[in-house]
């Protein structure tokens, strides 16, 4: 008799645990579905913003654009704005959605370049905690012209592989002084821009 009572109590408890666990699992699944929808929606909105910023940049020109963007959107970090522009640049053929249903968003996200989407979403991941250990020392970065060459090669590779959009108009503007220096370095100019910068 006592054994049957124990079995009945155990059976009731397993049912209670199963019910409680199922309710918690349902809540977790609903929360996850909400997260995925919101991430997809955030990605769509980021693509839209990147599309807008890219259009504004073409209209205003690089020189005016940077000042305009910083004044107009002082609370957005420059890197975040660039991530939005890159997301659009790598998916410029994506279409504007007329409805933002879960089905439409999933289909839209599914058509994007997966690498660009993954890269954009890495911005949502919190920074890794880097504990400080006794004896940790920062080594100064050696100054070498090879740093410039390596950065150039990295950027060229990313552009030719379609991983990063390069605005050549902006590149011309930003590398003008370097170009003058390289001309002097290779003997194609008698003016060293570093000398004129000191005076």
Q: In this structure, how many other beta carbons lie within 10 angstroms of the beta carbon of residue 199? A: 4
What is the residue-averaged pLDDT of the chain? Answer: 86
43 burial (CB, 10 Å; 0-12 / 13-18 / 19+) is buried
Count of domains for the chain? 1
Residue 78 tokens read as 């420059």
pLDDT at 173: 84
Q: Would 22 be classed as within a structural domain? A: yes
pLDDT tens digits, 96-116: 999 899 899 999 999 999 998
Q: Would 112 be classed as within a structural domain? A: yes
Range 25-28 contact pairs with CB under 8 angstroms and sequence separation of 24 or more? none
DSSP 76: S
The domain containing residue 8 runs over which residues? Answer: 2-129
The answer to whether the pTM exceeds 0.75 is: no
The region, left, alpha or beta by phi > 0 then psi within -120 to 50, assigned to residue 94 is beta
Q: Would 169 be classed as within a structural domain? A: no
pLDDT at 9: 74
Cα–Cα dist 64/152, whole Å: 25
Residue 60 tokens read as 């205003």
What interhelical angle do 62-72 and 168-185 show, nearest 10?
Answer: 120
Cα–Cα dist 132/94, whole Å: 44
Q: Would 105 be classed as within a structural domain? A: yes
Q: Would 177 be classed as within a structural domain? A: no
Q: Would 77 be classed as within a structural domain? A: yes
For tokens 């020189």, what's the residue?
63
pLDDT tens digits, 56-103: 998 988 778 888 988 999 888 888 888 999 999 999 999 999 989 989
Q: Would 154 be classed as within a structural domain? A: no
Q: Would 122 be classed as within a structural domain? A: yes
Please provide the DSSP assignment of 115-148 as one string: HHHHHHHGGGSPPPP----TT--PPPPPP-HHHH
| pLDDT tops 60 at residue 53 | yes
pLDDT at 111: 92
| pLDDT tops 70 at residue 199 | no
């Amino acid at each position: 008799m006592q054994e049957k009572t124990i079995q009945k109590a155990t059976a009731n408890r397993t049912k209670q645990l199963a019910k409680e666990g199922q309710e918690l699992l349902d809540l977790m699944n609903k929360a996850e579905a909400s997260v995925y929808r919101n991430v997809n929606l955030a990605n769509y909105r980021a693509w839209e913003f990147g599309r807008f910023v890219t259009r504004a940049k073409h209209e205003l020109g690089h020189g005016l654009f940077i000042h305009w963007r910083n004044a107009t959107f002082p609370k957005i970090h420059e890197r975040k704005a660039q991530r939005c522009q890159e997301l659009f640049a790598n998916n410029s053929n994506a279409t504007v959605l007329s409805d933002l249903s879960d089905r439409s968003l999933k289909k839209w996200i599914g058509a994007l370049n997966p690498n660009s989407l993954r890269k954009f979403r890495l911005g949502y991941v919190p920074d890794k905690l880097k504990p400080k250990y006794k004896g940790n020392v920062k080594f100064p970065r050696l100054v070498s012209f090879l740093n410039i060459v390596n950065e150039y090669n990295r950027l060229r590779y990313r552009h030719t592989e379609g991983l990063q959009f390069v605005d050549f108009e902006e590149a011309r503007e930003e590398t003008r002084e370097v170009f003058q220096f390289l001309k002097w370095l290779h003997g194609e100019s008698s003016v060293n821009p570093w000398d004129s910068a000191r005076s």
